[in-house]
Amino acid sequence: MSRSCAMLLLAALVASGCVTRAPYRYVTTQKQCFEPRPDPEPGTLRRSPPFPSLECQSSLYKTAFIEFQEDGNLFDPAQRRKALALIANEKRRLSNGKVITLVYVHGWKNNANQVHVTEKAKDVERFRLAISELGNRARDTAQKLGAPSPVPVVGIYIAWRGKSMKGPGWLTWLSYWGRRNVGNAVGGEELMSALNAVIEETVTSDADPSRVMFVGHSFGARVLENAVEKGVTLYDPERMVRAIPVRPRVDLVLYVNAANDARLSLQRVLNLQKDPIVVRHPDYKAEKCPAPDPHEPTCKEYPLIVAMTSRGDLATKYLQPIANTLNMDNGKGRPATPVPPPGSYVDSPPSGGRVRRTAPAHMRFMHSHDVEEIVCTGRPGERVACAASDPACAFAFRTRGDSDACFKVDRRTGSTSPALQVFNQTPFWIMNVDKRVIEDHGDIWNLSFLSMLGELMAPRGFFDPTAAPMRIQLR
Q: Would you say 293 and 301 are in contact if contact means Cβ atoms under 8 Å apart?
A: no
Average pLDDT, the chain: 88
- In tens, the pLDDT along 430-456 reads 999 999 999 999 999 999 999 999 999
Give pLDDT, residue 305: 98
What angle separates helix 77-90 from helix 189-202, to the nearest 10 degrees? 20
Please return the burial class of 279, using the count of CB atoms within 10 Å of its CB with bins 0-12, 13-18 and 19+: buried
Query: Confidence class of residue 288 from pLDDT cuts 50, 70 and 90?
Result: confident
Nearest to 34 by CA among 90, 104, 83: 90
Cα(324)–Cα(261) distance, rounded to whole angstroms? 8
H helices present in 187-262, as ranges: 189-202, 219-231
Span 260-267, mean pLDDT? 95
Q: Would you say 30 and 64 are in contact if contact means Cβ atoms under 8 Å apart?
A: no
Nearest to 248 by CA among 189, 190, 302, 188: 302
Span 326-337, mean pLDDT? 68
Give pLDDT, residue 11: 42
Nearest to 134 by CA among 402, 458, 431: 458
Cα(449)–Cα(399) distance, rounded to whole angstroms? 8
Cα(68)–Cα(362) distance, rounded to whole angstroms? 29
DSSP 8-state code for residue 68: B
Percent of the chain topping pLDDT 70? 88
State yes or no: pLDDT of 180 exceeds 90: no
Q: Cα 152 to chain center, whole Å?
A: 19
* Residue 36, CA distances (Å) to 89, 93, 292, 402 in order: 10, 12, 50, 43
- Is the preceding omega at residue 338 within 30 degrees of 0, hence cis? no
Indicate the pairing of strand 301-302 with strand 393-398: unpaired
Give pLDDT, residue 201: 98
Span 112-118, mean pLDDT? 77
State yes or no: pLDDT of 311 exceeds 90: yes
State yes or no: pLDDT of 7 exceeds 60: no
DSSP string, 11-61: HHHHHH-B--SS-SEE----GGGTTTSPPSS-----SSS-EESEE---SSE
State yes or no: pLDDT of 81 exceeds 70: yes
Span 195-207, mean pLDDT? 96
Cα(139)–Cα(149) distance, rounded to whole angstroms? 8
Span 270-287, mean pLDDT? 92
**pTM for the model:** 0.92
Cα(163)–Cα(77) distance, rounded to whole angstroms? 22
Query: Confidence class of residue 45 from pLDDT cuts 50, 70 and 90?
Result: low
Give pLDDT, residue 189: 96
What angle separates helix 123-145 from helix 447-457, to the nearest 10 degrees? 40
DSSP string, 301-317: EE-SEEEEEETT-HIII
State yes or no: pLDDT of 35 exceeds 80: yes
Query: Confidence class of residue 22 from pLDDT cuts 50, 70 and 90?
Result: confident
Cα(205)–Cα(246) distance, rounded to whole angstroms? 12
Give pLDDT, residue 289: 87
| Helix (H/G/I), strand (E/B), else coil: 421 | strand
Cα(301)–Cα(365) distance, rounded to whole angstroms? 21
* Between residues 178 and 70, the one the model is more confident about: 70
Q: Would you say 297 and 462 are in contact if contact means Cβ atoms under 8 Å apart?
A: no
Give pLDDT, residue 443: 93
